[in-house]
Copies of this chain bind each other. A is one copy, B any other.
Amino acid sequence: MISELTKPTVLVDKPKACKNISDMAKKARNSGCEFRPHFKTHQSAEIGKWFREQDINKIAVSSLDMASYFAGHGWNDISVCVPVNLRQMEQINHLSSQTRLHLLVESIEAVKQLGDSASGQIQIWIEIDTGYHRSGVAWDNTDLIKTISGMISQNPRLEFQGVLTHSGHTYRARSQDQIKGIYLDTLEKMKDVKRQIEATGQKPCKISIGDTPGCSVMTTFDSEIDEIRPGNFIFFDLTQLIIGSCEEADIAIGVACPVIAKYPERNEIVIYGGAVHLSKEVILLNENEKSYGMVCQLLDQGWGKSIADVTVTELSQEHGKISAPRAWIDSIEIGDLLVVLPVHSCLTANLFQTMATLEGEQLSCFRL
Q: A residues touching B (Cβ–Cβ < 8 Å)?
A: 5-7, 40, 62-65, 82-88, 90-91, 106-107, 109-110, 113, 133-135, 168, 258, 260-263, 266, 268, 270, 272, 275-277, 279-282, 314, 316-319, 321, 333-335, 337, 346-347, 350-353, 367-368
Max count, chain B CB within 10 A of own CB: residue among A6, A260, A346? A260
Set B261, B280, B335: member contacting A279, Cβ < 8 A: B280
Give chain B residues whose Cβ lies under 8 Å from the Cβ of A62. Answer: 317-318
Max count, chain B CB within 10 A of own CB: residue among A272, A321, A346? A272
Give chain B residues whose Cβ lies under 8 Å from the Cβ of A316. Answer: 134, 168
Give chain B residues whose Cβ lies under 8 Å from the Cβ of A367. Answer: 353, 367
Set B84, B88, B282: member contacting A7, Cβ < 8 A: B88
Q: Judge whether B260 and A85 touch: CB under 8 Å.
A: yes
Set B63, B110, B282, B319: member contacting A82, Cβ < 8 A: B319
Given contacts A280-B347, A334-B110, A82 and B272 within 8 Å (CB-CB):
yes
Give chain B residues whose Cβ lies under 8 Å from the Cβ of A107. Answer: 261-262, 334
Give chain B residues whose Cβ lies under 8 Å from the Cβ of A279. Answer: 275, 279-280
Having A107-B261, A134-B319, one finds 20 other A-B pairs with CB under 8 Å, namely A7-B65, A82-B272, A82-B318, A85-B272, A86-B335, A87-B258, A87-B335, A87-B337, A107-B334, A109-B335, A113-B335, A134-B314, A134-B316, A275-B281, A280-B347, A317-B346, A317-B347, A352-B368, A353-B367, A353-B368
Smallest CB-CB separation from A62: which chain B residue? B318
Smallest CB-CB separation from A129: which chain B residue? B263
Max count, chain B CB within 10 A of own CB: residue among A64, A87, A275? A87
Given contacts A85-B260, A260-B135, A368 and B314 within 8 Å (CB-CB):
no
Question: Nearest-CB distance from A303 to chain B (Å)?
Answer: 17
